[in-house]
Homo-oligomer: A and B are copies of this chain.
């Protein structure tokens, strides 16, 4: 046994993990900034972003956001107070409240997506071919 450690990662892997950490930090903080430009918190932006694709019941929102349903209540409350989101009754189940982005909410979500220029900027320096290999590598990481 040359190395007593269980799964001692090689230097290359360690460096890539480090780099991912850096990029993650950058992307995350850029996302928060983009949200802040619309006076949204990160959590509010993520929730609104989800609703810009399709209306969802509170329960589903909690699942997608990986948090407790009681938490979603507050976030939707705050977005609803700003008329970016509304609660609709579910005709099929009167217990359910379906959260949906309003017209204004959709607009903000669009601007938010476009305002993610920070995330795109680092990509600008890559060639078409490099972006393709990056895409392939990321896909495989995601699906791992």
CB neighbours (8 Å) of A124 from chain B are 144
The number of times this chain is found in the oligomer is 2
> Cβ of B21 and Cβ of A123 under 8 Å apart?
no
Kindly report which residue of chain B lies nearest to residue A132, judged by CB atoms. Answer: B12
A29 on the B face (CB < 8 A): yes
Q: In the bound complex, what is the Cα–Cα distance between A76 and B80 (angstroms)?
A: 36
Binding site for B on A (CB under 8 A): 5, 7, 9, 12-13, 15-17, 19-24, 26-29, 66, 114, 116-117, 119-126, 128, 130-135, 137-142, 144
> Cβ of B29 and Cβ of A66 under 8 Å apart?
yes
> Cβ of A142 and Cβ of B22 under 8 Å apart?
yes
> Cβ of A142 and Cβ of B19 under 8 Å apart?
yes
